[in-house]
C-alpha cells in the first residue's frame, strides 16, 4: 500500500493519501489548504484518485476538497451529518456510515462513526494497519468537544470504541499536535491520558 502523511496549512493539519501499489487506485483523506501540494503527491505516485474521504465537516479538513475533485474526478465521501454541515462549494457525492467498507486493490477500508468532536466524525481502518482518526484522537490527546455539534459524553463513548481496536494499528490523526507524528494505538492506550481515563467522570476532569 502506498501511504503518505502530508502536512498542510498553518494549523498543523495532516491530509493522508492511500493507494494500491499495483492498480494505483487511491483515496485522499481531509484535503485542505494546499491542493497543489496534494495533487503533486498524487502525481508523484501516479495515483488514480477515486475517493476523497472527509473525517468531519470542519473547514480545516475540507477546504481543498472541491479543487482536488475538480482536478481528479474523485468523488467526495462522508457521513450524513458531515454532509448536512458542509458549507460553500464542497458537497458530498456519496454517504458512508458505521460498518461500511470499501476496497482499494486487495486492501479493505472500514468505517467507524465516532461522534463527539463533530456529529459526523468518522475513523477509517485501512488494510488492518492504519487507523485514521481525524480530530477524534490526536497523539497524546483528543479533539475538543465544545465546538457547535460537539458533545463530551459522545466523545468519551467514541474513545471507548477506539480503545477496543487492536494495538498494532498506526494512529493517523488530523493534526500534528503531539510529541510524534504518529504512534501505534497500543502506545496511545499506554500513554494518552484521554484513553487512560476509565470513567466519564475522570474524562470530564481532563
Ligand atoms: Fe475539527
Given a cut of 90, whether residue 93 has pLDDT beyond it is yes
22 Cα–ligand 1 center, Å: 33
CATH number at residue 110: 3.60.15.10
Please report which confidence band the pLDDT of residue 90 belongs to, taking 50, 70 and 90 as the band edges: confident
Q: How many angstroms separate the CA atoms of 97 and 155, rounded?
A: 17
Total domains, the chain? 1
47 contact partners, CB below 8 Å, separation of at least 6: 2, 17, 19, 24, 25, 26
1 Cα–ligand 1 center, Å: 27
53 Cα–ligand 1 center, Å: 14
| Structural domain for 146, as ranges | 2-205
Q: What is the pLDDT of residues 136-156, one digit of tens each?
A: 999 999 999 999 999 999 999
Give the pTM: 0.97
81 Cα–ligand 1 center, Å: 14
Q: What is the pLDDT of residues 46-82, one digit of tens each?
A: 999 999 999 999 999 999 999 999 999 999 999 999 9
23 Cα–ligand 1 center, Å: 32
Amino acid at each position: 500500500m502506498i501511504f503518505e502523511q502530508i502536512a498542510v496549512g498553518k494549523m498543523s493539519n495532516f491530509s493522508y493519501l492511500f493507494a494500491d501499489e499495483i492498480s494505483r487506485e487511491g483515496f485522499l483523506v481531509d484535503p485542505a489548504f494546499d491542493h497543489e501540494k496534494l495533487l503533486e503527491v498524487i502525481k508523484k505516485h501516479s495515483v488514480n484518485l477515486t475517493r476523497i474521504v472527509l473525517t468531519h465537516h470542519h473547514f480545516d479538513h475540507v477546504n481543498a476538497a472541491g479543487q482536488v475533485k475538480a482536478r481528479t474526478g474523485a468523488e467526495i465521501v462522508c457521513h450524513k451529518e458531515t454532509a448536512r454541515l458542509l458549507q460553500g462549494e464542497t458537497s458530498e457525492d456519496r454517504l458512508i456510515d458505521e460498518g461500511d467498507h470499501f476496497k482499494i486493490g486487495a486492501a479493505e477500508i472500514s468505517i467507524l462513526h465516532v461522534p463527539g468532536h463533530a456529529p459526523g466524525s468518522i475513523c477509517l481502518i485501512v488494510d488492518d494497519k492504519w487507523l485514521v482518526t481525524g480530530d477524534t484522537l490526536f497523539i497524546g490527546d483528543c479533539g475538543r468537544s465544545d465546538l457547535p455539534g460537539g458533545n463530551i459524553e459522545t466523545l468519551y463513548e467514541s474513545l471507548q470504541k477506539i480503545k477496543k481496536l487492536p494495538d498494532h494499528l498506526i494512529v493517523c490523526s488530523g493534526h500534528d499536535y503531539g510529541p510524534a507524528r504518529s504512534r501505534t494505538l497500543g502506545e496511545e492506550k499506554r500513554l494518552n491520558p484521554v484513553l487512560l481515563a476509565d470513567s466519564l467522570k475522570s474524562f470530564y476532569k481532563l
